A = this chain, B = another copy of it.
Amino acid sequence: MSDSQPQGNETLPPEARTLAERVFQQLQDAIVRGELPAGTRITEPGLAQAYGISRGPLREAMRRLEVHRLIEREPHVGARVVRLSMRELLELFDVRESLESMAARLAARNMTTEEVESLRSVLGAHENQAGLDQGEAYYQREGDLDFHYLIARGSHNRMLMNMLCDDLYYLVRLYRTQYSARGARPQRAFVEHHRIVDAIAAGDEELAEMLMRRHITAARQTVAERYAMALDDGDGRAPISRRRMS
């Protein structure tokens, strides 16, 4: 896997920027990977000592995490890693449906042939991977997001791209670790991905938009049905698997 790390920011100064920036990305990664489980209480002195920095940059990093909805803060009380409830997860799907269908429409309008080609190559790589151990599709977890990343970038809408890549997709990854959700229905997703790419390549905006909308709606449906019996509390908390990352 080349980069499951999204290039959310615009330019490419990969190495040294500011300290707060690096800590922010490290924390972001640690959260979506599950190294910091949901509900973990984050104390500023603790993390500052853990990362070997002062509280100043760490506070700024936490501010950014808060705006990105990865941690929840309460004034004078503290911060905790977000615990995605089922309701918020379904809300996320609705927002994704709206944003990504627009991204698909714009991608069909603005994507260059090279971008379409790279999209096809990524899709082919995942297909081969899925052909090896079909059914499990472990790699599909990140591969699926690679696909959506490319379409978001292909929209050539910087604002839309930032919203999807910098905000929503981190929440998606967070959900997948918190619910330990393996990518369900891999073959169906593959077919849908192919059709979306075909529509984009053909420049059919309406079709691309509709297919993407159905794609995400179907995923939402699957998730909703899957957890329908497990948790029947519309507003309640999510039953997180309290497995530690060892």
A114 to B2, CA, bound (A): 52
| Stretch in A26-34, A97-105, A137-145, A222-230 with 4+ CB within 8 Å of B | A97-105
A102 to B156, CA, bound (A): 21
Indicate if the CB atoms of B158 and A88 lie closer than 8 Å.
yes
Copies in the complex: 2
Instruction: Tell whether A17 is near chain B: CB-to-CB under 8 Å.
Output: yes
Known: A67-B67, A76-B17, A98-B99. A91 touches B60 (CB 8 A): no
Could you tell me which residues of chain A, from 1 to 57, have a CB within 8 Å of some CB in chain B? Answer: 15, 17-18, 21, 56
Chain A residues within 8 Å of chain B by Cβ, number: 33
Indicate if the CB atoms of B99 and A157 lie closer than 8 Å.
no
A169 to B3, CA, bound (A): 34
A98 to B76, CA, bound (A): 37
Which residue of B is nearest A59, CB measured? Answer: B60
Indicate if the CB atoms of A95 and B64 lie closer than 8 Å.
no
Q: Mark A135-171, 1 if CB is under 8 A from B, else 0.
A: 0000000000000000000001111100100000000
A207 to B185, CA, bound (A): 32
Indicate if the CB atoms of B159 and A91 lie closer than 8 Å.
yes
Instruction: Tell whether A92 is near chain B: CB-to-CB under 8 Å.
Output: yes
Residues of B within 8 A of A67 (CB): 63-64, 67-68
